[in-house]
Amino acid sequence: GQDRDQALQALSQSQSTFQAIFQGLLDAAIYANLDRKIQMVNPAFSSLFGYSTEEVLGRTTALLYAHPADYLKAGRERFDGQGQAAPGTYTQRYRRKDGSEFWAESSSLHVRDRDGHVLGMLGTHRDISARQVAEAAIAEAHARFAAVFHSSPLGMAIGLLSDGTFLDINAALERMIGYTRSEVVGKTGRDIRMWVDMDKRTEVLRRVGSEGVVMGLEARLKHRSGARFDGTLTRAKRSP
Asked if 112 contacts 104 with a C-beta cutoff of 8 angstroms, the reply is: no
Residue 177 CA: distances (Å) to CA of 33, 138, 222: 67, 31, 7
The one-letter amino acid at 217: L
pLDDT for residue 96 is more than 90? yes
Backbone angles phi, psi at 67, to 5 degrees: -135, 140
The mean pLDDT value of the chain amounts to 86
Q: pLDDT tens digits for 129-183? A: 888 888 888 899 999 999 999 999 999 999 888 888 999 999 999 999 999 999 9
pTM assigned to the model: 0.59
pLDDT at 5: 57
pLDDT for residue 92 is more than 80? yes
Q: pLDDT tens digits for 50-76? A: 999 999 999 999 999 999 999 988 887
Asked if 13 contacts 33 with a C-beta cutoff of 8 angstroms, the reply is: no
